[in-house]
Amino acid sequence: MTPTPLPALSANTRRTVLLLSLACFCSMATQRICDAMLPELAREFGASMARTGQVVSLFAVVYGLAQLLYGAAGDRLGKLRVLTFTTVASGAGSLMAVFAGSLDALVLARVLMALVVAAIIPMSIAWTGDAVPYAMRQETLARVGLGTTMGIMGGQLMGGVFVDTVGWRWAFVLMAVLFLGVGALLWRDMGQQVAGPFSDQPPRGIWEQTRELLSEPWVRTLLAVSMVQGGAGFGLVAIIATHLHEVHGLALSSAGATVAMFGLGGMLYMSQAKPLIRKLGEHGLALVGGCTLGAALLTVAFSPWWLLAPPAMLVAGFAFFMLHNTLQANATQMAPQARGLGVSMFATALFSGQALGVLLATSLIGPLGSSAVLAGGAVAMVSMAVFLSAQLRRRHRLKLNG
């Protein structure tokens, strides 16, 4: 029997998906662009590295907390409208950073940027959930996510290049141009898109909707798994450069370049997502992705040769996004009646897990050593992948039998 061919996305939807990918690139690049600037910022403003690091740490804290602000707003006002407004506002925040005359002013600009940038990725995912049928959603999310993975590498690269050439302020000039340009294109595109599905029920408060979502076992399962992925995936990546520097004696620049292979691996997955999704299915992607990521982390943790670390990080990035793409697709469907809020809860769980993972990993390096910490994260990741794969397989059987 010949399988029914999937419907093609409209030209309008394909164009919007491209713009969302560009917006996600800007969002992630903004998160990472200050990483390589910290020594120069400390020198210019005469501040300690700990205080200068607030341009990164406070951004991350506000970014994570702000996720829930946009879920209900997107459901009520329209996800593309909220995303377009916050993209333009992010450009204005970047201009504030350009003209910051003190470290406090720069930190304030970064906090304000985090408040608006936080909407871009979850609203892009939620809009995709509204606009794209589920059979095509995971591969479409992979296209949107290509911008995110490129932003991981691009932000760190741009920050370092501008610091070493024309100065760090020009990095924020570039980000302002990118945000405002993408925002203008989204504004033009917004009128050509059909509004997402809206409920006939009167709007309810965010806390009432949150309680309702959390009463669903599948929602709780996805959020818990997302926290583990954030902690054992994104969280542990933050200590790998330190591990390579201390265990193998790599210069921090070389260790950072090695970790950047993680983003390259993610880009490679996005380019191959379509055939992999159709070949492995959701439960297969979760199982293979999680177990492969665990193996890559163990390689980095215990290999006596640092030359194995770059290919291991490439594989780790590929495997991480196999799993992450699967979670994203399920997050768009766990609460169709309040998709914006549901995806925002997913993003909050992911970034909360990341923050907890970094805190736990850095506190355990001293007594246990970085190799043991990475190994513990690998075991947690494999265990989570086996559990998630079993749950997805079970849900698939129930749908077939229902």
Domain locations along the chain = 12-192, 205-402
What is the model's pLDDT at position 49?
A: 60
Q: Which CATH class is domain 205-402?
A: mainly alpha
Q: Give me the helix-helix angle, 206-214 and 217-229, nearest 10°.
A: 90
156/257 Cα distance (integer angstroms): 10
- What is the average pLDDT across 345-374? 78
226/171 Cα distance (integer angstroms): 32
Q: How many Cβ atoms sit within 10 Å of the Cβ of residue 165?
A: 9
CATH topology match: 12-192 vs 205-402? yes
pLDDT band for position 198 (cuts 50, 70, 90): very low
3-state secondary structure of 19: helix
DSSP characters over 269-326: HHHHHHHHHHHHHHHHHHHHHHHHHHHHHHHHHH-S-GGGHHHHHHHHHHHHHHHHHH
With a CB cutoff of 8 Å and minimum separation 6, the contacts of 344 are 67, 68, 69, 70, 71, 74, 122, 126
226/343 Cα distance (integer angstroms): 11
Average pLDDT, the chain: 79
Environment class of 209 (CB within 10 Å of its CB; exposed 0-12, middle 13-18, buried 19+): buried
- Which fold, 12-192? Growth Hormone; Chain: A; (1.20.1250)
pLDDT band for position 358 (cuts 50, 70, 90): low
Which of the 8 DSSP states describes residue 371? H
pTM above 0.85, yes or no: no
pLDDT (tens digit, 9 = 90+) per residue, 133-188?
Answer: 777 776 777 777 777 777 777 776 777 778 778 888 898 999 999 999 988 888 88
What is the model's pLDDT at position 181?
A: 92
Answer yes or no: are the C-beta atoms of 197 and 339 closer than 8 Å: no
Q: How many Cβ atoms sit within 10 Å of the Cβ of residue 336?
A: 13
